[in-house]
Amino acid sequence: MHILMPAFISLLLQAQEPVLPLNLRKSIEIAAAPDGSIRLEIATEAIAQAEARRQQARAALLPHVDGSVSYQNLTRNLRAFGIEFPTIPGLRFSTFAGPFSIFDARATASQSVFDLSAMRRYQAAKTAADAMKLEGDSARHQVSDQVARAYLAALRAEAHLESAKANLELARAVERLAEAQRKAGTGTAIEVTRAGVQVAAERGRLTTAESERNRAHLQLLRAMDLKLETRLELTDKLQYAAPPPVSLEQATELAEQGRADYMAQRRREQAAELSYRATSFERLPSATAFADYGSIGGAVNDSRATRTVGVNVRIPLFDGGRREARRAESGSQLRVEQIRTKDLRQQIELEVRLSFDNLRSAEAQVATAEEGLTLAQREMDQAERRYKAGVANSLEITDAQTRLTRARETRVNALFAHNLARLDLGSALGAVERYLP
């Protein structure tokens, strides 16, 4: 009694915990929220970093304004600056000046007038920020795909659990029938024992199915970034649903236009090209306008307003080959991004073709599994009637029971494979939500 009390209390507390009703679309909405997934939180921070880099690059094109206030009290040795006084007989001039004070309050400003390299660098940073936003969309699609797969796995575990319960109930019914036949004198004790063995086997399969269901729920909670002690109630059922019709050519075109990861890669290639141009334009002259205005004097009340206005033209001549090395590096980075774009395009075409093949195969598996389940159920009914009529022994009904169990499992696996193939097609097209079951 004392040993059973902790388990009873645990079950009682578990029963008091609230249950979260959950369907597939709601699970995706929870995970796709800005704070619903660690991956999305990281993607949000990456977007913020890219936006900050864009603003840093833009700063080179905007005015720079600074202000300063200084006060100095100093002495100077004029001889150190090459200042020598003539020698006059009877007079001696000191080369030591000071102490004297200088007060200077001044505002300075500069503005880039012409710098193609800075312009291209800003355009590259802006394109990279756009690419990072698309990466955020891609991360959201990946999270949706991951949660959908975890949800489908949980549905499969639920369906296996229901099948295990139905198989156990069927085994118990056969056991009761064998016992009734034995009492009526038309059955034997070995048939009752054989039915009991089948009940024990189905009870073990039920325990395994319950463990698999619990594991699938935990994996779904982890994919949604929810507390693992949350109890779930899946409101959907594993069933067949035909996907929206689309041809292979249309699917390939839609994938190139709709997949966020491909569009992000295209933006990265454009950013690399702009960075390459920015490095090349470093060889061109650049012009900057500058000005300052302030008050300078020996003290605050003894100062005069002064100003400076000018234009600075910088002409790069030779920097030891550093500029050419950066240009070669940025050119290599551009070629790498072009290779990645080509590889991703081929990968998308492969994924679309594979998803089409998997979907056709899964549809055939579902049709075969449905037909097999119907035949297995019919065989089971016929074997039960023959056993009740005494024209067959328990081996026939046990074989029919085993085939019915396998047919139920095959149907569940076929439905799961079809729903997974639908999801694969949606992921390949970049439209997971559209191809949800």
Give tens-digit pLDDT for 61-77: 999 999 999 999 999 88
Q: Does pLDDT of 321 surpass 70?
A: yes
Q: What is the pLDDT of residues 216-233, one digit of tens each?
A: 999 999 988 888 898 999
Question: Does residue 163 lie in a domain region?
Answer: yes
What are the start-end ranges of the H helices in 60-188? 116-184
CATH number at residue 333: 1.20.1600.10
Alpha-carbon distances of 67 from 3, 61, 111, 429, rounded to whole Å = 79, 19, 15, 56
pLDDT of res. 2 = 44
Question: Does residue 297 lie in a domain region?
Answer: no
Question: Does residue 426 lie in a domain region?
Answer: yes
The model carries a pTM of 0.79
pLDDT of res. 65 = 94
Question: Does residue 173 lie in a domain region?
Answer: yes
Measure the CA–CA gap between 104 and 292, rounded to whole angstroms. 12
If you compute the radius of gyration of the chain from its CA atoms, what whole number of angstroms results? 40
Count how many domains the chain has: 1
Question: Does residue 283 lie in a domain region?
Answer: yes
Give the start-end residues of each E strand in 300-425: 302-314
How do strand 64-77 and strand 96-114 relate by DSSP bridges?
antiparallel
Q: Does pLDDT of 7 surpass 60?
A: no
Measure the CA–CA gap between 173 and 377, rounded to whole angstroms. 15
Q: Does pLDDT of 308 surpass 60?
A: yes
Contact 429, 435 (CB under 8 A): yes
pLDDT of res. 1 = 43
Q: What is the pLDDT of residues 106-157, one digit of tens each?
A: 999 999 999 999 999 999 999 999 999 999 888 888 888 999 999 999 999 9
Largest CA distance in the chain: 154
Residue type, 332: S
Q: Please choose, from the candidates 186, 64, 150, 89, the residue with its C-alpha nearest in 3D space to the C-alpha of residue 420.
A: 150
Question: Does residue 8 lie in a domain region?
Answer: no
Q: Does pLDDT of 14 surpass 80?
A: no
Q: Calculate mean pLDDT across residues 50-54.
A: 93
Contact 238, 419 (CB under 8 A): yes
pLDDT of res. 9 = 47
pLDDT of res. 277 = 92
Question: Does residue 132 lie in a domain region?
Answer: yes
Give the start-end residues of each E strand in 160-285: 231-234
With tokens 């002259």, the residue in question is 285
% of the chain beyond a pLDDT of 90: 52
Alpha-carbon distances of 435 from 24, 144, 231, 236, 432, rounded to whole Å = 12, 12, 27, 16, 5
Secondary element (H or E) of residue 20: strand 19-22
Question: Does residue 208 lie in a domain region?
Answer: yes
Neighbours of 324 (CB within 10 A): 14
Q: Calculate mean pLDDT across residues 340-347.
A: 94
Strand partners, 100: 74
pLDDT bracket for residue 412 (50, 70, 90): very high
Residue predicted with more confidence, 318 or 367 = 367
- Side-chain half-sphere CA neighbours of 6 within 13 A: 2
Q: What is the mean pLDDT of the chain?
A: 88
Q: Calculate mean pLDDT across residues 420-430.
A: 90
pLDDT of res. 35 = 72
pLDDT bracket for residue 16 (50, 70, 90): low
pLDDT of res. 282 = 87
Measure the CA–CA gap between 323 and 320, rounded to whole angstroms. 8
pLDDT of res. 17 = 64
Residue range of the domain that includes 245: 18-65+114-288+323-435
pLDDT of res. 54 = 93
